[in-house]
Structure 1
């Protein structure tokens, strides 16, 4: 369940308070005061079996006595009374309840389930239990026991902690920060972050969303809702429990390195959210992002009347993802004309302490026009020579014709700067108390811009063929069938090779003599390693010898290795040795790449610096699958080792595309083989000539899940890809759309008749901009589906899509066939394919809006069983609607429409 009946929480017609009280100091009394005094313009009815009146309003002794239907109920009673109260309210038509009572706790899971069971027959939504309550400033609802009613604003605050919610309300009141809604989620028995993000994404009263997160319950719902919300407005999150230990029981390096907080960080980044780390920073970020400023880059120009303040800002910039702008010669020329001789002639641009207001205006104007600058920070230190407020007014006036110009301000001081800050804030110019706060705000803008770009950036086209999935599955199934959980090195490399990940040839030997024979067959220096399921890190056990040049050396080394390993690990079962050719790459870098499993978000991909000291170095980045080439590169860029990979001095750059491709293949591998719990490639050697895996370890277990069910983000559904034949005999590939299809999608639109384009988009479309194309090609497969037909040339011939509501009940469809492909049965086939998919997914209804003049589409819809209904306010549009339970599937070809 997601947004269903949440309107009863945000916009109730009537509210009931069950457990209201007149006894001072009780939750029932405080909540009654808040509800009655907030100003809600609908009925508020109190329920208490022992009271005659609450706050001079008639009280009712039971839910059954309520004279009218209430949409929202607030419950303050003891936990054991909740299930029956919820059932009684549901029977009276109540659709949402806020549970302020204490949680039944983990010791009484049955009681919690009884609450959910009581709510289910009437689809009643529950917020809590153990929550502070719910506040909505627009309709003046204060269904909480908070100590104050926040002022009205446009920021929604969702908190898992009741105590922290009250602290934030108090903090915000003292700083004049207002809220649109405040929701305390408590134990999240029903309503969770995903539900509220889905609702708030479409809420016109909310310009930014703030989350205080302790844990996520449904990762896939959170990621789907979070990505939708973050596309619409800034979402800022603070996560508690950053020090949580990683998977201590993990067998692999990857599992130990992928700590829980790193995975949460990766999830927030992937969803397009901005993560902050303390409450002060949280509201700085809200102020900054809610201002509407958006950046095109990460370069900052600084204008200041104090050289010292400029140095502080420059130092602070080193700790952010931003960098100092290099000013263009034409900018220096402009500044020479408006600044006195002897100005700093560098960035930061230092004005004299006696700089008049006009100098600020001229300086900020010149810096905003600089082609190498993406934002300007204006700093002012109070002096007895000029008026700080007049300097602020000059900046405001200079920006009067530049709404949402990328300008941040910092007026230092207290009494002297107070008026200036008020003037700046009144014009919605972000202003900060200190240079480091201002620079940190710039860093927030840069990070947010990066995350948003990553959310919408078109990845490069796939440059590799489909893997041999059957071969990899056979290896894994054989290991599980033998009762083992760890693949041998040879088996692990066979799985990698099936996905075309380069591996060094490796063979197994049962004895030292056999190892010597293999070395002779290789005919050159070899590496010798112990073979044992019980030994995780072979080098620590004395189980690795390198650069052995003769068979005799190999045999001797094997004998010594057996003795050393038996002494250090006497309980280990030894199966023999692996022998592999020594790989000599003088300038190669050792990397680690692999798979770990997170309890909340499922499988994750890890990348970083490899080698024997991998856990000591701990240079790694974590990302949620599925990956594409762009996401893989971004992941690599977040590590320290990346600086070496791009080349330096006489070292050429490594083959970064080969590394990124390997990460993408690993991402696909874990989707195809849910039995894989952990995977290490360490070391993965890379230089300018490509990559090669020297060692690999894979941990498997029997899996009841199907493929990608455990993924937090549903990946490309390969199972839906197949070839189909059109009515004219042409064979085309039918598959789900990929993010990298954006160019081909744009080409299809450009090659279509303008009238057909207008029919598809319900209006003229002169251009097909990147953001629109990205939104149509980068879909959430958990909420949407778009099927494309692709010719052998790679051209997209037609596309059909559905977008489901968060409750997965109804979906809107759209279809377009390239103009020159009409009349070949393609449109009819696409509609049947998407309707088949919708039925298999469990959707109940499909609908679409069609222009009245689009008669071919209307005829096609009617042939497929759609009913035609009025389209609402627009007389040129009608709505077609199909109840999938009534659908009769037909395979006869018909004329196409788009």
Structure 2
């Protein structure tokens, strides 16, 4: 991911329109009108070989004729001509281009794969960034830029909209315009040949003119980039997404239950959740969510109190809670006693709280004060119905006055009606107090808050690649490799259970018999009732062909059951080969729930872990949750809670609660199995029995293929690299702990800046920094551990005293470094140790070059760079800045040199 040269898109000094036209109805004329009428303050230059002027502005015949360099170009040319145009623009110093279709016909919009690649190749020498092709274009109300085919210029606002669809972009602009809703930027990505959602999210995360980000997503091209950028952006500001296409098409080809159940839309939902985003399903809901989340309300839980001057609206609000993320709160006795004093003649209060139709402003404020203090609720919805005996506007003003003393109080409002309520709703909106027209809308907004808060919690989880004792990895790998060598794509039940057992997942003891007679002998050895199943590599689901027989007692019953299985398979699947039978003890756990747990593969996000209610009707029940690996206990438990079967697992009547820790640890171990065995494409444990005594796998199926990449390289989220933690010895005899940075280090980074001398801070950031903002700290602490790596040095007290990072370029060849050591830690060799550690990481990553920019006056840093082998030279852009470069590729070609001892330094 990179934001390189995107400043030329958002803040160009000049713009060129290639393909401009005066002919009405053409793309060139429409874009020319939008550009010239958008109000851009810099020069707009047009290119058309057949025109003398465009809209009374001097026109140029070719890009080479342009008298000045242009930062941004808008290209409306036939696809075959675009690569040449991009190459010419790059020679003119252009750094960003919006590539629009030349016309509205099919042939004028079709970029073949060859032409698309030629366009990207032409852009590469100048690192020119491309939006499109075939999108609606780019609009920035802050920059007065309308480089688009849109029919209107949106109002100025502080919400950015990024869309994959040109038609949806146009519809959104029209919808928002009619409602007076403004945007900071509107970007139609089109075919996403270069700039994609990841790039936009990374840039907009730090854009101080954007308060929230809206996405319309149809597909994701680079899952790891999208997840990394999305998590960074979602930590900084609300990110709300609509995903088109909610079907599970494509899953039918899967061989396992998990493969069928893990539909693509379910996986997208899991990805958005893990990235800290909020998913909605309608345009109207999109804007509601922006309003709600932008109020800055933070919830501690999911319980709602409802305050109303009428019984009906309160009941409607409670009814609306059914099916959303949230539940009705319970009033504490203290709150009930306080409310009883408001209306002594009323029956004792419950939730929803009805304070009667004659409730005035004073009664509302007293009741709301009591509910805000109540420990049984996490938010309050205040409803008001118009009545002849009270003034709803006065009530609204009183509540506004109360809430101004309680900033970001978890309060939502709903003033029902139109004429009498409109003024109150406008007043609430002007003070950024969330307000809605109906109880259902208000409750849906509460659900948005609950979901968003949960997703933000998941966002902070950075599970390591290993959380349990080492498994018998060699045994599991040998089993998988044996199956692949034999040309099989599926492990037998016996083999699959052996793999699970290697990862300490409890399995029922299972034995293999080649004949009915051997099965009878094994049953006698096991003793008691047994289960017999067909053993066949040709059968995916044994129960579908009568291949499972339960509760068999004695050798004769087992032999008879085996012969019946052979006959049933011959009748229902005559082509299937029966290779034998598996025999296992009949497990009796009367309180156990049948679960399914396993692995599926998604074409976009790679492997996912699935959990839900199991059994033979698993696909009919459809109760499942999906999560992206790696998992930890928190993520696994959240995944369990998203299923309906979790209510049964919590216990009911005479059924005690199941061992939730055992279930969660099984899901985490499945994620670790994924990391170690990249050959595994699908895995079913069905049923996985769970009760108060733990879990046990009764049946298992594993589908494998040849591995193309290492295990965790398939993951959309790279695991936290816990194995890179170590102790560093400093020159004064003290030690610090070095570890990769984590999202929760954000306050520690801010503290490093606050505890450092302003001059040292200026050296680090190449300029004065009066304050270290939350957005920047969030961006620096939330990384993907892939293209970017950062280490922090931590004292015994837990305080961060230094940080170093590298960020690789899009080609994964060169990386820029940055380092900061807290002022009181200078002179102990910490800077040298941090630099050697990050350079060691760069070498292991196979990077060719590491570089950095250093102020010319920062002598200690320049000397340290020279000690480490960097070449020091002037920066091409700023005479006050020096560029230091370490050529790792050349270093690798030479014989390795001994590392010099750490000198005293920064």
Q: Which residue of 2 aligns with 1:682?
A: 686
Aligned residue for 1:685, secondary structure, equals: strand
Closer, same or farther: CA 881–372 of 1 in aligned 2, 3 Å: farther
Task: Check if 1:609 corresponds to 2:613.
Answer: yes
1:54 is aligned to 54
Contact 2:16 2:46 in 1 (8 A): yes
CA 869–109 in structure 1, closer or farther in 2 if over 3 Å, else same: closer
Cα offset for 1:28? Answer: 1.8
Q: What SS does structure 2 have at the residue aligned with 1:292?
A: coil
2:376 aligned to which of 361, 372, 379: 372
Q: Aligned equivalents of 1:480 and 1:406: distance in 2?
A: 57
Residue 66 (structure 1) aligns with: 66
Alignment of 1:313-324 (within 5 A): 313-324=317-328
2:256 is the alignment partner of 1:252? yes
Distance 2:743 2:756 in 1: 27
Summarize deviations over 1:529-572 as a string: whole Å, max 9, x none.
11111100111111111222222222222122112211211101
Tell me the TM-score normalised to structure 2 length. Answer: 0.88
- Give the match for residue 365 of structure 2: 361
Secondary structure at the residue paired with 1:708? helix
Structure 2: distance between partners of 1:734 and 1:846: 25
Equivalent-residue separation in structure 2 for 1:158 and 1:440 (angstroms): 24
Unaligned ranges ≥5, structure 1: 764-769, 872-877
Residue 850 of structure 2 is aligned to residue 845 of structure 1: yes
Deviates more, 1:231-240 or 1:417-426: 417-426
**Distance in 2 between the 1:510 and 1:796 partners?**
64
Matched, 1:489 2:468: no
After TM superposition, give the deviation of residue 633 of structure 1 in Å: 0.6
User: How far is the alpha carbon of 1:482 from its aligned partner?
Assistant: 1.3
SS of equivalent to 2:393: helix
- The answer to whether the 8 Å contact 1:296/1:374 transfers is yes
Q: Where does 1:192-211 land on structure 2 (aligned, <5 Å)? A: 192-211=196-215
C-alpha separation between the residues in 1 aligned to 2:607 and 2:130? 30
Asked if structure 2 preserves the Cα contact closer than 8 Å seen for 1:526 and 1:581, the reply is yes
Q: Aligned residue for 1:268?
A: 272
Pairing of 1:730-745 with structure 2 (within 5 A)? 737=740
Instruction: Identify the residue that residue 701 of structure 2 maps to in structure 1.
Output: 697
Q: Deviations over 1:867-889 (max 9, x none)?
A: 89999xxxxxx999663548786
Aligned positions of 1:201-350 closer than 5 A: 201-339=205-343, 341-342=345-346, 345-350=349-354
CA offsets per residue over residues 212-251 of structure 1, 9 Å max, x none? 0111111110000000000000000001101242411100
Instruction: Check 1:349–1:459 CA distance in 2 against 1; reply closer, same or farther (3 A cut).
Output: farther
Which of 173, 194, 201 is equivalent to 1:190?
194
CA shift at 1:341, angstroms?
3.9
Residue equivalent to 1:874: none
1:511 aligns with 2:515: yes
Distance in 1, Cα, partners of 2:292 & 2:636: 29
Q: Secondary structure at the match of 1:446?
A: helix
Residue 400 of structure 2 is aligned to residue 396 of structure 1 = yes
Are the aligned partners of 2:464 and 2:719 in contact in 1 as well (CA < 8 Å)? no
In the other structure, the counterpart of 2:25 is: 25
Map 1:756-795 → 2, pairs under 5 A: 780-785=784-789
Counterpart residue number, 1:584 = 588
The superposition leaves residues 838-867 of structure 1 with CA deviations (integer Å, 9 ceiling, x where unpaired) of 2332273365999x9998x99876643468
How far does residue 795 in structure 1 lie from its aligned partner after superposition?
A: 11
1:440-473 CA distance string (max 9 Å, x none): 1111111111111121258799763011222211
Q: After superposition, what is the alpha-carbon deviation per residue over 1:709-748, rounded to whole angstroms, capped at 9, x for unaligned?
A: 2211112458x669999899x9x999965979999x99xx
Is the contact between residue 236 and residue 775 of structure 2 (CA under 8 Å) also seen in structure 1? no
Contact 2:728/2:737 (8 A) holds in 1: no
CA distance in 2, matches of 1:457, 1:847: 31
Q: Superposed, which structure 2 residues align to 1:27-42 within 5 Å?
A: 27-42=27-42
Q: Alignment partner of 1:399: what SS?
A: helix
Assess, with a 3 A threshold, how the Cα gap between structure 1 residues 56 and 210 changes in structure 2: closer, same or farther.
Answer: same
1:38-187 residue pairs with structure 2 within 5 A?
38-101=38-101, 108-187=112-191
Alpha-carbon distance in 1 for matches of 2:401, 2:139: 38
Q: Distance in 2 between matches of 1:737 and 1:42?
A: 44
Q: Secondary structure at the match of 2:22?
A: coil
TM-score normalized by the length of structure 1: 0.89
Displacement of 1:760 in angstroms is 12
- Aligned to 2:251, the other structure's residue is in SS state coil
1:593 to 573, 591, 597: 597
The CA deviation string for residues 483-506 of structure 1, in whole angstroms up to 9 with x for no partner, is: 111111121112112211111222
SS at match of 2:630: coil
Is the CA contact (8 Å cut-off) linking 1:788 and 1:796 kept in structure 2?
no
Structure 2 Cα separation of the partners of residues 889 and 715 of structure 1: 32
Q: Give the match for residue 16 of structure 2.
A: 16
Question: Which residue number in structure 2 is paired with residue 639 of structure 1?
Answer: 643
Q: 1:847 to 1:23 in 2, by over 3 A?
A: closer
Cα deviation for residue 33 of structure 1 reads 1.3
What secondary structure sits across from 1:603 in the alignment?
strand
Match of 1:6 in 2: 6
Identify if the C-alpha distance between structure 1 residues 622 and 360 changes in structure 2 by more than 3 Å, giving closer, same or farther: same
* 1:106–1:264 CA distance, 2 compared to 1 (3 A): farther
Work out whether residues 465 and 672 of structure 2, in 8 Å CA contact, stay in contact via their aligned partners in 1: no
Partner of 2:416: 412
SS across alignment from 1:248: helix
Q: Deviations over 1:156-184 (max 9, x none)?
A: 00011111111111111121211100001
Instruction: Give the 3-state SS of the residue equivalent to 1:632 in structure 2.
Output: helix
**2-structure distance, mates of 1:444, 1:697:** 38
- Structure 1 partner of 2:886: 883
Deviation at 1:41, TM superposition (A): 0.4
Structure 1 residues 328 and 868, CA gap change in structure 2 (3 angstroms) = farther
Post-superposition CA distance 1:407-431 (Å, at most 9, x none): 2111111222222222221222221
What SS does the corresponding residue of 2:532 show, helix, strand or coil? strand
- Deviation of 1:606 (Å): 0.4
Question: Following the alignment from structure 1 to structure 2, what is the Cα–Cα distance between the partners of residues 626 and 327?
Answer: 39
Counterpart for residue 451 of structure 1: 455
**1:667 and 2:678 equivalent?**
no
Match of 1:655 among 637, 652, 659: 659
Q: How does 1:510-589 map to 2 (within 5 A)?
A: 510-589=514-593
> RMSD value over aligned CA atoms?
4.0
| Partners of 2:228 and 2:783 within 8 A in 1 | no
What is the Cα deviation at residue 362 of structure 1? 2.8
SS class of match (1:99) = strand
The SS at the match of 1:678 is strand
**Contact 1:595 1:678 survives alignment (8 Å):** yes
Do the aligned partners of residues 531 and 75 (structure 1) sit closer, same or farther apart at CA in structure 2, a change above 3 Å counting? same
Distance 1:422 1:794, change over 3 A: closer
Bigger mean CA offset, 420-429 vs 343-352: 343-352
Show CA shifts across 1:499-541 (max 9, x none): 1111122222211222222223323332211111110011111
| C-alpha distance in 1 between matches for 2:111 and 2:78 | 16
Distance in 1 separating the partners of 2:446 and 2:616: 39
Select 1:804's aligned residue among 784, 804, 807.
807
Q: Structure 1, residues 738-780: CA drift from partner, whole Å, max 9, x if none?
A: 979999x99xx99xxx999x999999xxxxxx99999998753
- How many angstroms apart in 1 are the aligned matches of 2:26 and 2:344? 68
